[in-house]
Amino acid sequence: MLSMSHQKIILTGDRPTGKLHLGHYVGSLAARVKLQDTHRQFIMLADMQALTDHAHEPEKIRQSVLEVSLDYLAVGIDPKRSTILIQSLIPALPELTMYYLNLITWNRLKHNPTVKLEIQQKGYGEEIPAGFMVYPVSQAADITAFKANVVPVGDDQIPMIEQCVEIVRKFNRLYKTDALVEPEILTSPIARLPGIDGKAKMSKSLGNAIYLSDSADEVAKKVKGMYTDPTHLRVEDPGKVEGNPVFTYLDAFATDKAKVAELKAHYQRGGLGDSVVKKYLLEALQAFLDPIRQRRAEFARDPQAVMDLVFKGTEVAKQVAHNTLLEVRGAMGMNYL
Ligand code: TRP
């Protein structure tokens, strides 16, 4: 069992609203695969958080719980070393959320930059679901319930961790306790993978993603249509490497760094066609994705076995979160029983 108390604790998670893509891999999955050797890692399928902006699509969330679990297993998250759990099956989380909601102001919530951006992108106007407005508080419950010291996530999550730290400090000060632990964010070296259209972020809603589960043909088609340097019209023209997603992906996924450096230099000099670089990128991506696809297909043969792994993790997590809840209620002097 991974209960060695000297290990640092990680809590991280995803909203299950679709399959995971290369951006998820670079932004956090790669770190999780490494960190499971050295940390006590909890990985949350944040289905309640998914409902805050997908209340109309519970079926999609339910299906995505399985799909995302398959993605986790396929990239090498090992249920023996990491605990995968389903948020909505842990009753301590909404209970903690209710207590924390009293420790943060409405004004503070309104100024969370990531939430503001999402409100804009989703076009909510004045009709923001209340649950959506407060999801950072529920995320603070996720993190603190497991006493996480480290949260490895993309840089869009920085405001969530900041709000969590504020809540932890307020709680510990107000109730004169050290029951809650301040988390630290761990961002990845490649904070954001651009989309295949060259837009700043690969995302499902922008329709510019390559999924971990895409077939070889789908990947080939997507790479072929990738945005490059729009001013690189003829092969002999010098091309730009910065802001050219083909090269960003090569940096992230090609293992032969010397070859990538050579391609970059050649491209910048002129004389290297987009199709040649894309062909090399495709090879690199297929080499990266092939084993992932294979493992995914193997696990997908027995979905019940996958769900059983997740349910088992959830049971472990439920106990941990419940213990924190008892401490929290104790600190508040609200343990009636
Ligand atoms: N907000 C995260 C995202 O959109 C998902 C998430 C939910 C999460 N709870 C979390 C991430 C706790 C880290 C820790 O990707």
Please write the tens of the pLDDT for every residue from 155-170.
889 999 999 999 999 9
Q: Which of 19, 25, 49 to mutate to test the pocket of ligand 1 (most atoms within 8 A of CB)?
A: 49
Instruction: Provide the pLDDT for residue 133.
Output: 97
The string over 195-217, giving b where at least 16 C-beta atoms fall within 10 Å of a residue's C-beta and e elsewhere, is bbebeebbbeeeebbbbbbbeee
Structure confidence at residue 200 as a pLDDT band (50, 70, 90): confident
Contact 121, 113 (CB under 8 A): no
Higher pLDDT, 93 or 7: 93
Structure confidence at residue 230 as a pLDDT band (50, 70, 90): very high
Cα 209 to ligand 1 centre (Å): 19
Cα 69 to ligand 1 centre (Å): 15
Q: What confidence tens digit (pLDDT) does each residue in 141-197 have?
A: 999 999 999 998 888 899 999 999 999 999 999 999 999 999 999 987 776 899 999
- Ligand 1 atom closest to Cα of residue 138: 9
Cα 185 to ligand 1 centre (Å): 12
46 lines ligand 1 (CB under 6 A): yes
Asked if the model's pLDDT at residue 213 lies above 50, the reply is yes
Structure confidence at residue 1 as a pLDDT band (50, 70, 90): very low
Cα 244 to ligand 1 centre (Å): 29
44 lines ligand 1 (CB under 6 A): yes
Structure confidence at residue 224 as a pLDDT band (50, 70, 90): very high
- Ligand 1 atom closest to Cα of residue 11: 14
Instruction: Provide the pLDDT for residue 4.
Output: 53
Cα 153 to ligand 1 centre (Å): 8
**Which protein residue's CA is at the shortest distance from atom 13 of ligand 1?**
12
50 lines ligand 1 (CB under 6 A): no
Q: What confidence tens digit (pLDDT) does each residue in 28-69 have?
A: 899 999 999 999 999 999 999 999 999 999 999 999 999 999
The residues pairing with 184 across neighbouring beta strands, listed in sequence order, are 150
- Determine if the pTM surpasses 0.85: yes
- Ligand 1 atom closest to Cα of residue 142: 12
Q: Which of 14, 112, 138, 201 to mutate to test the pocket of ligand 1 (most atoms within 8 A of CB)?
A: 14
Taking the alpha carbons at both ends of the chain, their separation in whole angstroms is: 31
11 lines ligand 1 (CB under 6 A): yes
49 lines ligand 1 (CB under 6 A): yes
Range 155-160 contact pairs with CB under 8 angstroms and sequence separation of 24 or more: 155/187, 155/191, 155/192, 156/114, 157/114, 157/185, 158/114, 158/185, 158/187, 159/112, 159/113, 159/114, 159/115, 160/112, 160/114, 160/136
- What does the alpha-carbon distance between residue 264 and residue 56 come to, in Å, rounded to a whole number? 46
- What does the alpha-carbon distance between residue 199 and residue 119 come to, in Å, rounded to a whole number? 19
Q: Within the chain, how many helices (H) and strands (E) appear?
A: 15, 5
- What does the alpha-carbon distance between residue 112 and residue 165 come to, in Å, rounded to a whole number? 14
In three-state secondary structure terms, 253 is helix
**Which protein residue's CA is at the shortest distance from atom 14 of ligand 1?**
12
Range 204-208 contact pairs with CB under 8 angstroms and sequence separation of 24 or more: 204/17, 204/18, 204/21, 205/121
**Which protein residue's CA is at the shortest distance from atom 10 of ligand 1?**
13
Among residues 263, 264, 197, which one has the least CA distance to residue 225?
197
Cα 14 to ligand 1 centre (Å): 5
Among residues 242, 246, 227, 232, which one has the least CA distance to residue 285?
246
Percent residues over pLDDT 70 in the chain: 98
The residues pairing with 325 across neighbouring beta strands, listed in sequence order, are none
DSSP letter (8 states) at residue 25: I
Q: What confidence tens digit (pLDDT) does each residue in 62-102 have?
A: 999 999 999 999 999 999 999 999 999 999 999 999 999 99
